Structure formats: C-alpha cells, structure tokens
Amino acid sequence: MKQIATMLDDSPALLEEKIAAQQQQAGYAMDPYFYRSQRVYERELERILYRGWLYAAHVSQLPEPGDYIQFELGEDAIIICRDEAGEIHALMNICRHRGARVCQEQHGNRKTFVCPYHGWVYELDGSLKAARAMEALEGFDRADYGLKHARCCVYQGLVFINCAADAADFEPALDTIAEALRPYDLPNAKVAHSQVYQVDANWKLALENYLECYHCATAHRAYAKMHSIQDVEDRISDLTEAMLARAVAQTGVNGITLNHYQAYSASTEFGADVYHSRYALYDGFLTGSDGGQPVAPLMGQFTGYDGGAGDFQLGPLCFMLNYPDHCVLYRFTPRGITATDMEIVWFVRGDAEEGRDYDRDALTWLWHHTTLEDEFIITRNSAGVNSHFFEPGPYNPAYEHLCVDFVNWYLQALSSPG
C-alpha cells in the first residue's frame, strides 16, 4: 500500500465543508481530500460500500456442499459457502466469542468452521454448533451466537452480497436487464481464469478510470483499434446503427440490443445499479482478442457474431464486457485508502475445454494487457492527485459523463444520514 501524509486537521466539519464545496463544482474532478482522508474512507465504508450490492463469486466456484471462497472488502472478510442443502450463504468471518477469524484459507472445502482461538465450531449455514465449556455461563444459548450474515443474491450464476440488513432486493433491478444478460447462459458457464491486479491507488481513481474512455486512444492502443466506444458518439453512429440492425439476426438472440441505464443517480434503489448497452466493434473485429478473432466457442444462445459487445454494470463496483464467445467481469474492491484490488474474471462456455476449445493466453491477452496499462496510469494519477499543488479540472462532457454521474451520486451518498 502506498503511504501518504497523514491529515492532522481532519474533522466532521471539514468533511461536510468539502462535500458542499465539491457539490458547487459540478462537472469537475474531485478535490484530493476525497482520496486521502481516513474520515472519508470510513464514511464510504459505512454509507456506500457496506450498503451496495457487490459481486462475490460465481456458482461454478462453489459446486459442492462445503465449498467456500472468501471475499475481502477493506479490513473485513466474508465467507461465501454452500451448505449441505445446496444453499449459498455469506458469513462474516468473525467468531462471535472474541472476534478471531474462523477461516484462514481463501478457498477450499470444509464441514465446519472452527475458531482457532477457543475452538467454537460453526455449521456451514453459520449456526453455532459447539462452544467449548460455555455451559459455565448461565443462560448461554448457542442459537444466539451464530456467525453474522450478509445479504446474498444469486442471479444468473453470479453471487452478490450486501452487508446492510435493510438493503433493497437486487433481483428487481437485475430483472430489467435480464433479456440482455440471460443469453450468455452464465449459470452454466465456467471461470476460465481470474486474476487480481493490486493497485496502489484509491478505489475511486480506479473506478473513474473504468467509467470513461477519454484515455483509451492514448493509453490502450490495442483496445482502441477495435472498440468504437473510444470515440465520440456522432463519429460512430453509422457503425453502431449498422451493428444494431443486424444484431438479432446474426447472434440469434432477441433482446440483445436492449439499452437500459439505471445506475448511480438513476438507480431506483441505493446500491442496486444496473446498466446495459451494446456497442460496435470496428469493421473486421468480432471479439475482444489480439486481432479481434474468436478465441472460444460461442456462449449460451449465441449462433454467430454481429461485431458488437454487451456492456453491463452489476452493482456500483462491478462491470462486464460480454463478447459472443467469452465474457469479461471487472470487480473493484477497496482495500484501504490507497489500495484497490482490480479483479478480472474470464468466463467461457461450461463445456469448453482448455487446450481443445480455447487457449488461456489468447483468451486473456487483451484485457490482461489493458489492465496492466490501466495500473500504470492509475498509479500516476494517484501520485498527482495527492500532490499539494493539484487543482481539479473539468470532466470532458462527451467522454466523462459517467464520471460526473458517479461523483454526483457519491457526494449525495456521502452526505446522506447513516
């Protein structure tokens, strides 16, 4: 984690002052205060990150009872596990006795979770099975001391969690983009590869970078030569219209052209952000690969290529770019003020075999190299915004409008009562 100078004059009053001042600067990048204040980070956890629906796992990572994977957010760890009845749970990795973590490995298979400190034993559904010698405490009831749960939503094979007990259900929002997501048959897909890129930068810098393609032409040459989203809309309108006109016929998928934005300020429920649009690849490119040629069997219901890609948002910090032959999921996970995990998950058909149907290096080439390029520019962005002399400039309205929407939503969330 990159170290930054400690703010000695931070206070609740300063936080409110900075929020009000930033709201008066609509359309401008954020003051560096929001990237370096511990007080800001704690409020983000409380009012945004613990209240939003976050991607945690794919069902293929939990095929059998007892299978689990850990999801870490900030300083917290959550166990995503499948119980003996096949139900998936999200359990806080905190013993209800004195707080030790009951699971150390990042993934595996267990019959129970046992605290290494005093030996309390928990079932796969989080209930307390045994608490050694606690009969010494009069009135002690094991039913009162199960592991705490986060909300859990399994949708189209994707597992989402929310740490807020009163969070709105995610399913209704996801249903609004179901006809565009369903054809990829994600419940029966498999994870071909996943990789975490640890970036020494505040999570908002990583997220803002993803939300705009103003930088694509200069920072991502391989990506930019095939994805038309790197250009302004009026220059690519003919290309986009031609792709949309042939999309259903060439992919065999009804609903593939759905355009729906219900994220950030437009979200109907806090933390239940969804979005889908289909944009064109430049002529001659069929998918996101080196050269733009197919690298895996067609996904789900797809019967062909239309020269387009499906762009999704699934919660405030998760995105997917879905090609007809593979899907790429991007997850941003804050790990501290100046530390962010950017994780990419590549999905292929569930029956595709590595070495026969796809080559892993060819499948991952484009987004692996694009993410390394992102890491380079994000860390330099971080160094700049933490400078004493940085003065925020205006967002580009043609390229960075999603950043503006995010910042407006973010400031409103930060200023809302907890």
Domains and CATH numbers, the chain: 54-153 (2.102.10.10), 170-415 (3.90.380.10)
Which residues in the chain come in under a pLDDT of 70?
1, 3, 5-6, 416-418
- For residue 288, which of 333, 296, 93, 401 has the smallest C-alpha distance? 296
Task: Please report which helix (H) or strand (E) contains residue 14, including its range.
Answer: helix 12-23
Give the residue from 110, 115, 104, 121 showing the smallest Cα distance to 65.
110
pLDDT at position 364: 98
The per-residue pLDDT for 231 is 86
| pLDDT in the model for residue 136 | 92
Distance of alpha carbon 318 from the chain centroid: 2
Give residue 92's pLDDT: 97
Phi, psi dihedrals of residue 345, rounded to the nearest 5°:
-125, 125
Helix (H) or strand (E) holding 339: strand 339-348
Q: Which residues have C-beta within 8 Å of that of residue 124, sequence separation ≥ 6?
A: 65, 66, 81, 82, 83, 84, 89, 110, 111, 112, 113
Structure confidence at residue 6 (pLDDT) = 66
- pLDDT at res. 388: 87
pLDDT digits (tens, 9 = 90+) for 16-38: 999 999 999 999 999 999 999 99
How confident is the model at residue 7, as a pLDDT? 72
Return left, alpha or beta for 12; rule: phi > 0 is left, psi -120 to 50 is alpha, else beta: alpha
Q: What percent of the chain has pLDDT over 90?
A: 93
Q: For 112-135, how does the pLDDT look when each residue is reduced to its tens digit (9 = 90+)?
A: 999 999 999 999 999 999 999 998
